[in-house]
Amino acid sequence: MTERPLRRDAERNRQRLLEAARELMARDGLGVPYEAIARAAGSGMGTLYRRFPQRQDLVDALFAEHVEAVAALARQALRADDPWTGLTWFMERQFELEADDRGLSELLRGARQGTDRLAQGCARIAELAAQLIERAVRAGRLPSHVVPGDLETVHLMVGAVMDASRQHDPARWRRALAVSLAGLRHAEPTRPREEEEADTHPRKAPVPPASPNGEHAHHVPAP
Amino acid sequence: MTERPLRRDAERNRQRLLEAARELMARDGLGVPYEAIARAAGSGMGTLYRRFPQRQDLVDALFAEHVEAVAALARQALRADDPWTGLTWFMERQFELEADDRGLSELLRGARQGTDRLAQGCARIAELAAQLIERAVRAGRLPSHVVPGDLETVHLMVGAVMDASRQHDPARWRRALAVSLAGLRHAEPTRPREEEEADTHPRKAPVPPASPNGEHAHHVPAP
DNA sequence: CACAAAGTGGAAGCGTTTTTCAACTTGAGA
DNA sequence: TCTCAAGTTGAAAAACGCTTCCACTTTGTG
């Protein structure tokens, strides 16, 4: 199992490839073409493939420490005196990192599957985030119906705003985060499952009054 | 400019193409390959291209009435006795439609540019939605710092959750909507622009206690 | 029926990205 | 210095989707 070290020139090329990938993925996301990375590094595609046969290998090498940094943020947030402050602080810091790095943003949002370092890192973050939620709930700073899954939802929501506005208005995600977090504190509990019976009931009358003009409800084309 | 009617067989093919596109776009989104549509309709790609040279033409023909239906929802919501109820009712109905139709969902979320029917329809919806917001603000049912743009933000947010969970948990968007709407009502006003000076101030101390290693006093164990 | 116009199908050409490969280069140990 | 395994390269092939094109078929009218 001795991993003999790379030849000197090979190691240098590897570093160049990593740097190029780092920059491009931060700007354009994880899906940046291999060819673009190789060109930016001044190498051929063959070299890139030799070092990182799977894109996952490249992503792994690049983002391991970033993911670890986010986990560290979460751990620090868990030490905050006030659980709610800790939670909001964590979310803000996390999104600040994501705002500067589209690759990281995609990584943290996409559901990880592999057994690699990254997947474990993300799992650890999820666990810590769950603790942040639970701690805030226990302290009475969040309603008890808020669950860890709601944080993932918030992550999706704010991330979408970030994606849509990265060019146009890079700070817009802060508003989305403020709305989402306020929403967590004030949302009504989700209605318990009555969906099944709902269909047997007469469909809930449209909340707005049955049209002042006396027309009937507008026809909505069936999907 | 007399548009002579299509030959009988051509018209029949056109309908088949529309049906196929309808179904595929509802399931897979607006980007479904032309080839798949043609195959599903039992036609060749040439026929599809002859009738709908631009994808936009196809989308136009397919979604005009759906967009109009959403606008109608908004108009109806504006007639609700209670502005807040009208707003939430509208959002729920709108997303219910989107939940059943991925194409519509993409359409309403993507920024429209063209001068075609759809673009105008979307613009009309945006206008009506803005009125819904303003009406709720005037009635004191929403804080005055909430602006029409916030509704677009909510649209992005809930839409992202819908996209991520359409397979796994198709009703999850309802939770996202509840959180978002509650957030609109309870969010703090976004801080006025002091960003410029912020950098001159000592960077706001991390909210959790400043000790990364901190075995200092303020460690509050939460059992 | 005959025939011109309308309509059709699907292969070919193009562009993009992934992945492989065989010929060529180079570092470093003997 | 010599040698060869490690390393490199870029072209080529495969996969995918868009778009065009033209030989062929169908319609409906005279």
Predicted confidence (pLDDT) per residue in A162-216, tens digit = 999 999 999 999 999 999 999 999 999 976 555 444 444 444 445 544 443 334 3
User: B221 CA to chain A: closest CA distance, Å?
Assistant: 8
**CB burial class (10 A; 0-12, 13-18, 19+) of residue A220?**
middle
Q: For residue B64, which of B4, B114, B28 has the smallest C-alpha distance? A: B114
Residue of least CA–C1' distance to D18:
B34
pLDDT at B110: 85
Residue-wise pLDDT tens digits, B154-195: 999 999 999 999 999 999 999 999 999 999 999 999 766 554
Residue-wise pLDDT tens digits, A64-75: 999 999 999 999
**Range of weakest confidence among B25-29, B79-83, B116-120:** B116-120
**Who wins on pLDDT, A136 or A206?**
A136
CA B223 to chain centroid: 42
Instruction: Report the SS3 class of residue B209.
Output: coil
Q: Indicate yes or no: CB of B79 within 8 angstroms of CB of A221.
A: no
Residues of B in contact with A180 (CB under 8 A): 157, 179-180, 183
Please report how many Cα atoms fall inside a 13 Å half-sphere around the Cα of residue A196, on the Cβ side.
2
CA of A219 to C1' of C6 (A): 37
Average pLDDT over residues A6-13: 96
Instruction: Assess contact for A72 and A146: CB atoms under 8 A.
Output: no
Q: Indicate yes or no: CB of B66 within 8 angstroms of CB of A209.
A: no
User: B126 CA to chain A: closest CA distance, Å?
Assistant: 17
> Other C-beta atoms within 10 Å of B199: how many?
8
Residue-wise pLDDT tens digits, B85-110: 999 999 999 999 999 999 999 999 98
Instruction: Assess contact for A105 and A166: CB atoms under 8 A.
Output: no
Residue from A207, A213, A218 whose CB has the most chain B CBs within 10 Å, to mutate: A207
Instruction: Assess contact for B40 and B20: CB atoms under 8 A.
Output: yes
CA of A47 to C1' of D6 (A): 12
HEC states along B193-222? CCHHHHCCCCCCCCCCCCCCCCCCCCCCCC
**A90 torsion bin: left (phi>0), alpha (psi -120 to 50), beta (else):** alpha
Alpha-carbon distance of A82 to A203, in angstroms, equals: 45
CA of A149 to C1' of D23 (A): 60
Q: Indicate yes or no: CB of A178 within 8 angstroms of CB of B187.
A: yes
**CB burial class (10 A; 0-12, 13-18, 19+) of residue B192?**
exposed
Nearest nt to the B8 alpha carbon by C1': D27
What string of DSSP letters covers A123-181?
Answer: HHHHHHHHHHHHHHHHTTSS-TT--HHHHHHHHHHHHHHHHHHTTT-TTHHHHHHHHHH
Instruction: Assess contact for A148 and A192: CB atoms under 8 A.
Output: no
Going by the DSSP 8-state scheme, the letter that residue A80 receives in this structure is: -
